[in-house]
Amino acid sequence: MIERETHGDVVVLRMAHGKVNALDLELLTALTTVLDELAVDGPPLVLTGRGTAFSAGVDLRRIVTEPVAYVEEYLRALSAAFVALFRYPGPAVAAVNGHAIAGGYVLVAACDHRVAAGGAGRLGLSELQVGVPFPTSAIEIVRHATGASAATRLALSAELVDVPTALATRLVDEVVPPDALLNTAIAHAQVRAARGLDSYRMTKRQLRRPALETIERVAPGEDAQVRAAWTQQASLDRIRGFLANLG
């Protein structure tokens, strides 16, 4: 589910879960567990996916087939995974091997540097396509990574963009050929670690403090509203309609 390997001092985590690494409770729990374990020492980290997708986002089929209790637990786990990556103390680089959609793109945004493979990947935030709101952590992480204007466009348009557009609009920092993706991401992680991990960690903490403080202050109340919105019958019906249109 989470494949782990080391390249020198860099830890590579690869999401390997189904065809498109859809985010379900099990994958999110596994990701948070390994991130919390690694955060004790904070080695340089690369996060990527297996196959043609980094992650296609929320496993919507589970949302409409599982009981409400699953959906509520799922949304808590989703936010926990976002925050665990965002507050990871060491260098964290996303190696975006394909589609990074909705929650998949939030994981990309939670990293310090984002390298995408050239190709047919699509990136963006699509929750409003199915009529459900974002957890507080997702909005704050994307706002931190892309700026308020880009975050607004991404979230409210719910449109996905191709890789060249993602580079032009700074959703990713660079694009490389697919066969160079992992080595490029590893090299970025190594360079950042070589500059001095203690100073890197302090600077990263300073930069992310406003977003993390907002998440800690706002999320307890706001995310209760998010959970209510996701579990109401009208939302579940819209998700079923969206899935039916996908075929």
Identify the CA nearest to 38 among candidates 64, 9, 67, 75: 9
The tokens for 186 are 């590893």
Residue 122 in 3-state DSSP?
strand
Beta strand segments in the chain, E: 2-7, 10-15, 45-49, 53-55, 92-96, 99-101, 113-117, 122-124, 161-162, 174-176
Of 37, 127, 159, 174, which one is the catalytic site residue? 127
Antiparallel, parallel or unpaired: β 53-55 and 99-101 = parallel
Give the number of C-alpha atoms closer than 13 A to the C-alpha of residue 12, restricted to the C-beta side: 20
Ramachandran category for residue 229: left, alpha or beta (phi over 0 → left; psi -120 to 50 → alpha): alpha
Identify the CA nearest to 47 among candidates 177, 188, 164: 188
127 is catalytic: yes
Q: Which amino acid, one-letter code, is at 97?
A: N
List residues with catalytic annotation.
Answer: 127
